[in-house]
Chains A and B, each alone.
Chain A
Amino acid sequence: MNDFIAARSQMALSLGFHIIFSCIGMAMPFFMATSHLLWLRTGNVIYQRVTRAWAKGVAIFFATGAVSGTVLSFELGLLWPTFMKHAGPIFGMPFSLEGAAFFIEAIAIGFYLYGWGKFNKWFHWFTGLVVGISGVTSGILVVSANSWMNSPSGFTFKNGHYTNIDPVQAMFNNAWFSEALHMCIAAFAATAFAVAGVHAFMILKKKNVYFHSSAFKIAATFGLVASFLQPLSGDLSARGAAKRQPAKLAAMEVHFKTASRVPLYIGGIYYEKTQSLKYAISIPAGLSFLVNRKFDSTVEGLDHFPTDQRPPVAIMHYAFQIMVAAGMLMALVSLLYLAARIKWGRWLEKDWLYKLYALCIPVGFIAVEAGWTVTEVGRQPWIIQGVMRTAEAVTPIHGVQFSFYAFTAVYITLALMVIFMLYQQIKLVSYTDHERGQLI
C-alpha cells in the first residue's frame, strides 16, 4: 500500500466511521425529545422510559462521535496538509461555526443527561431539543464545507495563488443547500430505520412489547417522513451534480458518449475493459429527462473529460445503485407502515411487518455510506473540484500505512464495543425498572 492510498483509506475509514455517529447524533435527540414531549403532555410513564433509554444511546453515540470528529479535525491537516494550507481560510467558516454548535451541543447534553429532576421540566426538555438542533446545525455546516470542495467558490485561483478570499461566499456555494438537505434527511431516515428495526426485533422476541411498540411507533414515523422526502432531495442533488460535476453524474450512470435521449440504467454489471454495462434495465431517455426535464436533451458524457480526470466508474455506478436501492426499500417499507397506520391496522399485529423493519436495521446506513462514496469518489481525482488534485494535497511523510493500520484496529474495536454496549443496554431495558435507576 503506498502512502497516497493509505492516506485516502484512512480518511475514508475515519469519515465512514464518523458519519454513522454524526447521523445518529443529528436525528436521535429529536426522537428522544419527541418521546419526552409525549411524556410531558400525556403523563404516560412508558414515554419516560423510552426517553431515558434513548438518552443513554444518545450519550454513547455522542461520546464516540465527538472523539471521531476531533480526530477528523486533526486528520485534515495530518493527511492533507497542502489542501488545508490553501483551503483552510476559504472554507473554514462553516468549521468555526460548527465548533460553536458542537460546543453548545456538549453543554446541552450535560444539562439533559444529568438534569433529570433538577430543573424545570420544560427547561430540561428544551435542553434535549437543543442537543438535536445544534447537532443538525453542525451537520449542515460540515456538509456545507464539503460541498465547497465539490463546488468551489469565494476565491480567485491564478498561477497557483488563492486570492480574493471570501469565506461567506465559499460557505454558501452552489452545492451547499442540496447537499446539506440530502444529508440531513438521510441522517433521519437511516437513524429512524435502525432504531425502529431494533425495537421491532425486540417486539418479535416478545420482550417488553408495550415499551418497544411505543418506541417503534415514534421511530417508524420519523422514518416514514424522511424516506418519503429523500427521493425529492436526491433529484435536486443529482441535477446539481449534472450542472457542477458532470463527470460525477456520468460515472454514476456509466454514460460515456455525450448524446441526447440518454437512457437511465438501473443495476447491471460494469465491464471495465469494454467500458460497458450489461444486464441493466434501461429506461429510454430517462437520464435526459431526469437531468433536464426534457426527453431529447443532451447529457455530457465521460468522453468530455481526459482519462486522468474521470472518477472510477465501477465504484461510482455500484455505490449509486446501492444508495438508490436502499432508499427505495426504505420508502417501500414506510409505505406499508403508512398503509397499516391509516387503513390496515391489523398489520401492526403481524410479525412480517416487524421482520421487515428488523431486516432494515442496516439499510439506512448502507445508503448513507454508499451516498458518501458517490459524493467523495465522484470528485476524484480532485480534492477541490477543478482546482487541486488529491495527490497534490497528500502529506509528504512516508509510512502513512502504519497510521492507517492503527486507526483501522481502533475503529473496528470501537465499532464492536459500541454494538456490544448497545446490545447490553437494549437487553437491560427489558428487565430493569427505569424509574429507579439514574442515567449514566
Chain B
Amino acid sequence: MNIVVICYLYGSLLLYLVTGGADFGAGVVELFTPAAGKNHIREVMHRLTSPIWEADHMWLILAIVILFVGFPDVYAQISTSLFIPMTAMLLGIVGRGTSYAFRNADNSVHDKFKHTDNFIYVASSVVTPFFLGVITSAIFSGCRPAGSSFTDVYIDSWFNYFSFSAGVMTVIFCGYLAMVYTLARFPAERHVLRSRFLLLSLLFFAIVSVVAWDPVFASLLSDSLPRVIIASAIMLLTGITLYVIWRLIYSTHSKWARLFALAPVLFTVFVICCTGNAGKNTGILHLPLYINPDLGKTINILGITLIISSLLIVPALGYLLYAFELPFYKKPNNTPGPGQ
C-alpha cells in the first residue's frame, strides 16, 4: 500500500503541474500579450479553462492531504522551513482563484474593477507557480539548517539562485503549457499566436538550459563530467521535444501535441530533481519518501480511500473533459464557447 500512496502523491502533484499549471499559464500568456490583444487572449483562455479550472486545482489539495496524513514529519518540516515561500504561494492561490471568478462573474461593472481583477489575475498567475517552483526545488535541494539563526532555518533553504531559477522555469513552463493546449484545441489561433508561442518555446528552452547547467558550474572543479553529460542530454531532449510539439501544432495532428506536452512536464520535474539532488544531497526530504512503520494502518486506509475515491472521480472527470472538449474536435472552426 505504501507504493500506492506514494504513486498517488506524485501523481497528483504531476497532474497539478499539468492541469493547474496550464491554468496559471493562461495568466502568464496574458502577461506576454500586448495590450491590444489582451481581450482576445482572455476570451480564448476562458474558453480553454472555464469548465474544468476548479477541478484543476483540486490536485493540489489531494497532494497536500496525502502529505499530511501519510508523511506528517515531511509535512511539518516543509511547513516550518519553507514558511515564507509557502505563505507567498498561498496569497497567490487566493488572488488567482478569486480574481478569476470575480472577473468572469463580473459582466456588469466598472472598468476600474475589471482592471484590478485583471492585474491581480496576471500577478498571481506568475507569483503562484514561481513560488511553487521555489518550494519544489527547495524541497529537493534545501540544505539542512547550518545554524539556528532565523536566516539559517527559514531563509537559506530557498533563498538562492537555484531555487529562483527553478521558480522562473516553472512560470515559463506554465505559460508554454497553456499555449500548447490552446493552439492544439483552437487551430484558428495558430497564426494569431505564432510569435508568442515561439517566444515562450525559446524562453522555456533557455531557462531549462540555465537550470540544467547550474550544478555543473556549482562543482566546476570536482566530478563535473557526468553532470555535463546530464545537462547536455537535458538540453538536447528539451530541444527535440519542443521542436516536435511545434511541428505537431502546425500540422493536422495538433491534438496529439497536448499528449506530447507531458514530456516537458517530466523534464521540468526531472531537471529540478536531478540538479537539486546533484547539488546538495542532504535535502529536507529524503527520497524515496520514508514511511513511519507506526503509521501502517493509516497508510492502508489512506490507500484504500484513494483507490475508492478514484473510482468515483476518474469517470466523472473523464466525462467532464469529454463532454466539454469533444465538440471542439468535431467542428474545429466553429467554437462558440460556453462563455459567450
A residues near B (Cβ < 8 Å) are: 56, 59-60, 62-64, 66-71, 73-78, 81-82, 84-90, 92-93, 95-100, 102-104, 106-111, 113-115, 118-119, 162-163, 165-168, 395-398, 403, 406-407, 410, 414, 417, 420-421, 424-425, 427-428, 437-438, 440
Contact = CB atoms under 8 A, between A and B. Distances in A.
B69 A88 contact: yes
A64 B97 contact: yes
Nearest to A75: B90
Most buried by B among A59, A75, A96: A96
- Sorted nearest first, the 3 A-B pairs with minimum C-beta distance are A92-B69, A63-B101, A77-B79
Contact of B60 (A64, A70, A85, A100): A70
Interface stretch (B254-262, B269-277, B294-302): B294-302
B57 interface: yes
B91 interface: yes
Given A96-B305, A410-B95, A421-B106, 5 more contacts: A88-B72, A89-B292, A93-B298, A100-B312, A114-B338
Interface in B281-340: 292, 294-295, 297-298, 301-302, 305-306, 309, 312-313, 316-317, 320, 323-324, 338-340
Contacts of B52: 110
Interface string B94-110: 11111011101111110
A421 B108 CA distance: 10
Contacts of A73: 61, 64-65, 68
A99 B98 contact: no
A94 B53 CA distance: 24
Contact of B61 (A102, A118, A398): A102
B302 A110 contact: no
Contacts of B317: 103, 107
B295 A89 contact: yes
15 contacts: A64-B101, A68-B94, A71-B90, A73-B65, A89-B69, A95-B65, A97-B309, A103-B313, A107-B55, A108-B316, A110-B55, A114-B51, A403-B83, A410-B95, A438-B340
A284 to B, nearest CB: 49
Interface in B87-142: 87, 90-91, 93-98, 100-102, 104-109, 113
Contacts of B69: 88-89, 92-93, 95-96
Contacts, number: 211
Contacts of A114: 50-51, 324, 338-339
A357 B69 CA distance: 44
A406 B91 contact: yes
B94 A71 contact: yes
A67 to B, nearest CB: 4
Contact of B298 (A85, A165, A421, A437): A165
B313 A107 contact: yes
Nearest to B50: A114
B57 A395 contact: no
B294 A165 contact: yes
Contact of B295 (A75, A165, A421, A427): A165
Contact of A424 (B68, B98, B108, B316): B108
Contacts of B301: 93, 167-168
B317 to A, nearest CB: 5
Nearest to A423: B109
Given A71-B90, A111-B323, A166 B297 contact: yes
A104 B313 contact: yes
A274 to B, nearest CB: 43
Interface in B43-67: 50-52, 54-55, 57-58, 60-62, 64-66
B98 A414 contact: yes
Most buried by A among B93, B101, B292: B101
A59 B295 CA distance: 38
Contacts of B156: none
A73 B63 CA distance: 10
B207 interface: no
A100 B304 CA distance: 12
B75 interface: yes
Contacts of A78: 79, 83, 86-87
A308 B153 CA distance: 32
Contacts of A70: 57, 60-61, 90, 93, 97
Given A107-B313, A397-B80, A67 B97 contact: yes
B78 interface: yes
B309 A102 contact: no
Contacts of A167: 297-298, 301-302
A77 B68 contact: yes
A164 B72 CA distance: 16
A63 B98 contact: yes
B306 A74 contact: no
A410 B94 contact: yes
Nearest to B109: A424
B188 interface: no
B314 to A, nearest CB: 10
Most buried by A among B61, B80, B313: B61
B159 interface: no
B54 A106 contact: yes
B323 to A, nearest CB: 7
B136 to A, nearest CB: 15
Contacts of A440: 50, 104-105, 339
B311 to A, nearest CB: 10
Contact of B83 (A87, A397, A437): A397
Nearest to B59: A103
A184 B232 CA distance: 58
Nearest to A69: B61
Contacts of A74: 64, 79, 86, 90
A278 B333 CA distance: 76
Contacts of A166: 297
B154 interface: yes
Contacts of A398: 150
A106 B87 CA distance: 24
A376 B95 CA distance: 28
B1 interface: no
A421 B104 CA distance: 11
Contacts of B77: 81
Contacts of A165: 294-295, 297-298
Nearest to A414: B98
Contacts of A97: 305, 309
Contacts of A437: 107
Contacts of B73: 85
A95 B297 contact: no
Contacts of B339: 114, 438, 440
B44 to A, nearest CB: 16
A343 B8 CA distance: 58
Contacts of B91: 406-407, 410
Contacts of A60: 101-102, 105
B236 interface: no
A149 to B, nearest CB: 15
Interface in B128-175: 150, 153-154
B58 A99 contact: yes
